[in-house]
Amino acid sequence: MRFHYPNMLWGLLALAIPIIIHLFNFRRHKVVYFSNTATLKTIEQENAKTKKLKYIIALIMRMLFVAALVFAFAYPYNPDQKLKTDDADNLVAVYIDNSMSMQSQSSEISLIEDARASARKIVSNISPSQRFVLLTNSRQPDNEYPMNQDEMLMSIDAMQTEASPMSFNNLYENLQMIMKRNGFKSASLFIYSDFQDNMMNLDGVVADSAIQLVAMPLKSDYQQNIYIDTVWLSSPILQKGLANEVNVRVVNESGKEIKGLPVNFEIDGKAVAFNTIDVPANGRNEVAMQFVLNDNGMGIASINDFPITFDDEYYFTLNVRPIIKIVELSTDNVVSAIQTLFANDSLFNYTRIDPRRIDQQYLSDCQLIIVNGDDIVNETMMQSVLDLAKDGCSVVLLPSEDPESSESADDTLSISMIASSHPFFDDIFVKIPDNADMPKVFKHVKIDKKRFSNSLSLISLQNGTSFFTLSKVGAGYVFGFASKFDKNWTNFTENSLFVPIMYKIAMLGGKVNRLSYTIGVDKELTINDLTAFSEGDIRIRDLENTFEMIPMVELRNNRALIRLYDELPGAGFYTIDHGDEVLATTAWNDSRLESNMKFWDREDVDKLLKDNGLNVLAVMKADDMRSNDVMEMMVRRSMLWKSFIIIALAALLMEILVLRFWK
């Protein structure tokens, strides 16, 4: 045990006071005359012994009271629990959680500003000879190299206040990597965070006793939040001049029901629709708003909720469907049902080509490839087609005319099962009538499901075999049919199911542009039909031209796979430019994990960290962090002084009881 204020130990000299009082008792004695003193002498001897013991016990209690008070004011502490802030081999790391939830209010300022102010006090009170690193969710490379005190203070002031959340295990592993890279034997880690539920992931953490932890839980005065969770279209296919609906899901993270909450929808800065919504306490609800789009646009759905506002807007892009390129690989010369369906529709660019006379490069920008017979393409061509499926193209495989692979049935088979609950059928029909007219199948083959590991049967025949299957291959789909689209095989092409199913297949291969991306989650995106990439760079810019990033780009089948090596600065719209040409406009939103108002209490944080074997020096209270003596309270943090106060009070009580009741 050591003392933070050792000069206070001079107060032990006060122990002489009760001793002096005990040795020199100046009480006046009264003389009482008795006729016979024989009996009194016996009583006097007995009382003298009792009083002597009584006064010795009282003296001990008084000395214990004085000594305990002196020790308490000298602030004792355990030297093993002292921060190693005076060790040259020790790294001082300060983690400030700069995620969106830290913008909530604490007292009169935001949590992030509260953390920044306290962190400055700590750094300012540590020896300037120490080395520092500032850890944030932004993972700024410059901050992760050891800095001196002045550089650390400047980094704290310049820290950005918007970033995606980081889990605790990532934070801990990052510090271990920095220590190893720079040769530090130990580290003191100060953690400023609201300890939101999504942060407290300690899976895989390997405890290191050389890392001392001081946790600083910050608590907002506002524990309620209403936010837009997500936005989607009733139909993913946007066509010029046709009505569609935007659906907005609103979540209420409070114990009070919200009635009549206004929800606004605008396109390119102009109000398009407005509605109100009731959201139950600790629940969610959805609202739909109709619109008509005449050209590509930038949409924003918004609500008003103070003070947590980062999730009150949801950005998304609206893109009118481009012409879909469809190629049918076939050796037939007759007009097929596929040609009849797609050739005269302005939405599609349909071509039928003999696979023996095709340049494979022609297929590179297709959205739908129909292989009308497995036997008409060689193995190399088939692999090229499947590679295109991995990049997002839809592929339809129809069986060959080989009679050995077909199965004849004595009776005509009908479709008996449709997996109507599968998302593929979501916008094809709502409910299948009991007396629906199902297609008839006269001849079919057995679809090889082993060809693709995740093949699903969407439509089955009466004998249990699959008629229509779906297989997810990379970013695209491969669809298989058990019958050719020929009247000798089936009347499927004459049934009402044929048109919506084939349209849906084409639309899935049309690479519907994503409405939005999530910052910190989505790291790559694809630009289709990139034809002018031979010169210049791809750049990502915000609409105000205040931010610019040069991403990594990989060309693949006339498409550009764009990878982001860093996070975007905030939610909003960003263009992808090639020189002066805008290739695409994308919408980005902050992760809604930050919108969840579930936080860990100080006691729970302390228990979780210690249960995982981490070297936890202290979990501070909010009032302690705001104290001007925060560093002194933290560096020498100990509860031993309380024990001495308790001892002093117990000694005082014992003395009173002895003097009052010991007769």
Higher pLDDT, 122 or 30: 122
pLDDT given for residue 144 in this prediction = 81
The residue whose two tokens read 């550089």 is 151
Residue 309 has which token pair? 């506002």
**Inter-residue contact 437 to 389 (CB < 8 Å):** no
Higher pLDDT, 405 or 105: 105
pLDDT given for residue 268 in this prediction = 95
As a whole number of angstroms, the distance between CA 425 and CA 421 comes to 7
**Inter-residue contact 206 to 614 (CB < 8 Å):** no
**Inter-residue contact 75 to 638 (CB < 8 Å):** yes
Residues 6+ apart with CB under 8 A from 81: 617, 637, 638
Closest Cα to residue 372, out of 392, 344, 407, 401? 401
pLDDT given for residue 559 in this prediction = 66
Q: List pLDDT tens digits, range 164-211.
A: 788 899 999 999 999 999 999 999 999 999 999 888 988 889 999 899
Residue 628: pLDDT over 50:
yes
pLDDT given for residue 273 in this prediction = 94
pLDDT band at 26 (very low <50, low <70, confident <90, very high): very low
pLDDT given for residue 410 in this prediction = 44
pTM assigned to the model: 0.67
Bridge partner list, 132? 92, 147
Residue 651: pLDDT over 70:
yes
As a whole number of angstroms, the distance between CA 31 and CA 296 comes to 115
As a whole number of angstroms, the distance between CA 567 and CA 189 comes to 25
Query: What does the angle CA 238 – CA 554 – CA 297 come to, to the nearest 5 degrees?
Result: 25
**Inter-residue contact 166 to 134 (CB < 8 Å):** no
pLDDT given for residue 511 in this prediction = 62
Residue 241 has which token pair? 């001049």
Q: List pLDDT tens digits, range 537-582.
A: 789 999 998 999 989 888 765 667 888 988 888 899 999 988 888 8
Beta strands in 97-156 (DSSP E): 105-106, 109-110, 131-135
Residue 254 has which token pair? 């409070």
* Whole-Å CA distances, 420 to 236, 459, 471, 606: 18, 9, 16, 50
Checking DSSP bridges between strand 76-77 and strand 90-96, what pairing results, if any?
unpaired
Beta strands in 406-515 (DSSP E): 406-418, 440-445, 456-461, 466-473, 476-481
pLDDT given for residue 42 in this prediction = 55
Report the SS3 class of residue 63.
helix
* Size of the chain, expressed as the number of residues it contains: 663
Residue 248 has which token pair? 């907005």
Higher pLDDT, 152 or 33: 152
Element (H, E) at 473: strand 466-473
pLDDT band at 630 (very low <50, low <70, confident <90, very high): low
Residue 35 has which token pair? 């006729």
pLDDT band at 71 (very low <50, low <70, confident <90, very high): confident
Query: What mean pLDDT do residues 73-87 have?
Result: 67
As a whole number of angstroms, the distance between CA 389 and CA 476 comes to 5
Read off φ and ψ for residue 355, nearest 5 degrees: -60, -20
As a whole number of angstroms, the distance between CA 360 and CA 628 comes to 73
Q: What is the largest CA-CA distance in the chain?
A: 151
pLDDT given for residue 516 in this prediction = 93
Report the SS3 class of residue 443.
strand
Residue 534: pLDDT over 60:
no
Query: What mean pLDDT do residues 64-89 have?
Result: 75
Residues 6+ apart with CB under 8 A from 280: 252, 257
CA dihedral 159, 164, 168, 174 (to 10 degrees): -60
The DSSP code sequence of 74-137 is T-EE-GGGS--TT-TTEEEEEEE--BGGGGSEETTEEHHHHHHHHHHHHHHHS-TTSEEEEE-T
As a whole number of angstroms, the distance between CA 338 and CA 340 comes to 5
Query: What mean pLDDT do residues 369-377 have?
Result: 87
Q: List pLDDT tens digits, range 51-65.
A: 778 778 888 888 888
Checking DSSP bridges between strand 2-3 and strand 76-77, what pairing results, if any?
antiparallel
Highest mean pLDDT (candidates 38-52, 186-200, 404-418): 186-200
Residue 483 has which token pair? 């019958």
As a whole number of angstroms, the distance between CA 461 and CA 409 comes to 12
The DSSP code sequence of 251-291 is EEESSS-EEEEEEEEEETTEEEEEEEEEE-TT-EEEEEEEE
As a whole number of angstroms, the distance between CA 136 and CA 176 comes to 15
Residues 6+ apart with CB under 8 A from 497: 428, 439
pLDDT given for residue 430 in this prediction = 52
* 610 class by beta-carbon count within 10 Å (0-12 exposed, 13-18 middle, 19+ buried): middle
pLDDT given for residue 578 in this prediction = 84
Q: Treating both helix axes as pointing N-terminal to C-terminal, what angle do 38-73 and 16-23 enclose, rounded to 10 degrees?
A: 170
The residue whose two tokens read 């020929």 is 486
pLDDT band at 480 (very low <50, low <70, confident <90, very high): very high
Long-range contacts of 417-424 (CB under 8 A, 24+ apart): 417/459, 417/460, 418/458, 418/459, 419/456, 419/457, 419/458, 419/459, 422/456, 422/458, 422/470, 424/458, 424/470, 424/504
Residue 400: pLDDT over 70:
yes
Average pLDDT of the chain, as a whole number: 84
* Whole-Å CA distances, 345 to 237, 323, 339: 15, 10, 10
Query: What mean pLDDT do residues 417-438 have?
Result: 76
Higher pLDDT, 531 or 318: 318
Residue 599: pLDDT over 50:
yes
**Inter-residue contact 355 to 329 (CB < 8 Å):** yes
Q: In percent, how much of the chain has pLDDT > 70?
A: 86
Closest Cα to residue 432, out of 445, 447, 422? 422
pLDDT given for residue 35 in this prediction = 61
**Inter-residue contact 77 to 1 (CB < 8 Å):** yes
Domains of the chain: 2-78+641-661 (no CATH), 84-222+598-637 (3.40.50.410), 225-320 (2.60.40.10), 324-509 (3.40.50.880), 517-589 (2.60.40)
pLDDT given for residue 290 in this prediction = 93
pLDDT band at 617 (very low <50, low <70, confident <90, very high): confident
Q: List pLDDT tens digits, range 223-270.
A: 789 999 999 988 777 877 888 899 999 999 988 999 999 999 999 999
Higher pLDDT, 300 or 376: 300
**Inter-residue contact 58 to 66 (CB < 8 Å):** no
The residue whose two tokens read 């040769």 is 183
